Amino acid sequence: MHVALARLPVICLDARHARAALSVQLYKTDDNDAYGLAQIIRSGWYKVVVVKSLDSHRVRTLLSSRAQLVNMRRDLGTKIRGLLKTFGRIVGKVSGRKYEESVREFCAGVPGLEEAVSALLAVRARIEQEIRTLEEHLLGFAKRSDPCRRLMTVPGIGILTAVSFVTAVDDPARFVRSSGVGAYFGLTPRRYQSGEVDRDGSVSRCGDALTRSYLFEAAGTLLARVGRWSDTQSVGRAPGSPDRQQESPCGRRPQTGSDHASDLDRRQRIPLVEGGGDRVITS
């Protein structure tokens, strides 16, 4: 009988929990795996995995595709620099049109090198065009999503970070505590305890790697590149740093009316530009 007709609940198990439970079996066969999964369900020793909505999967398809194209663009740029370096030509820190102009100038008149680099530049230009197309779709989603617009009021949070975070969380109600979101993205430290040994390790790196990388990038931008002071910066500042020493005795800098708008609608006026101009999309 079909599962939908039988009205039986469909539960997705955590793969790591299931693997740990099935690893105690001496022989791995299909029958043993089925029996082990049945015992996991019977004993209740499992964790239910929430399945994201189709809308979130559609948007995350755009994010993952863009990330793949960005990696391909980076690899092509590295290959081009390597080819030029073989002939004693070093490309400096340039980007955009200046990068392509410098590369074509360096390889001009060199047989073989000019043809190879031109082919790579043509592919790179097409990849950049497709990246911009995907970014327009992500920009449209961010403009229509109220949670994304609220997140982008935080200094250092751009379109990619906001869209990736919102689509990865999908339903905030599934988190009992807000501290569980950090563990969901693998941002909490591992802990090892055995007898007298009790130590904390590095972050677990569980969950979505793309969203975690965007969150790390946003945190670095907030601490190193955002000039306007905010309460969020005080969390990451080391005690005794120059920025900390300039704080008031109560642990925060005096705020002015221009720094934090009291009206949320006013704070949500984000410069989202459909075409051209400065955008928040980076990486």
Question: What are the residues whose beta carbons fall under 8 Å from the beta carbon of 247, sequence distance 6 or more?
Answer: 234, 253
pLDDT surpassing 60 at residue 255: no
Give the residue from 203, 226, 224 showing the smallest Cα distance to 213: 203
Helices (H), the chain: 3-6, 15-22, 30-43, 54-86, 97-107, 113-144, 146-151, 159-169, 179-184, 209-224, 231-236, 242-245, 264-267
pTM, two decimal places: 0.75
255 DSSP 8-state letter:
P
Give the residue from 121, 133, 119, 65 showing the smallest Cα distance to 96: 121
Q: What is the DSSP string of 138-161?
A: HHHHHHH-HHHHHHTTSTT--HHH
Tally of CB atoms within 10 A around 156: 20
Q: What is the DSSP string of 14-54?
A: PHHHHHHHHTTSSS--HHHHHHHHHHHHHHT---BPPPPPH
Mean pLDDT score, 103-127: 92
181-218 in b/e form (b: 16+ CB < 10 A) is bebbbbbbeeeeeeeeeeeeeebeeebbebbbebbebb
pLDDT surpassing 70 at residue 100: yes
pLDDT, residue 267, reads 42
Task: Tell whether the torsion through CA atoms of 157, 158, 164 and 168 is positive or negative.
Answer: positive
pLDDT surpassing 90 at residue 254: no
31-42 pLDDT tens trace = 999 999 999 989
217-227 pLDDT tens trace = 998 888 888 87
Calpha distance 242→229 (Å, rounded): 13
Domains of the chain, by residue range, sit at 3-43, 55-140, 145-251+270-283
Question: What are the residues whose beta carbons fall under 8 Å from the beta carbon of 194, sequence distance 6 or more?
Answer: none
Q: How far, in whole angstroms, is CA 233 from its chain's centroid? A: 20
136-160 pLDDT tens trace = 999 999 999 999 999 999 888 999 9
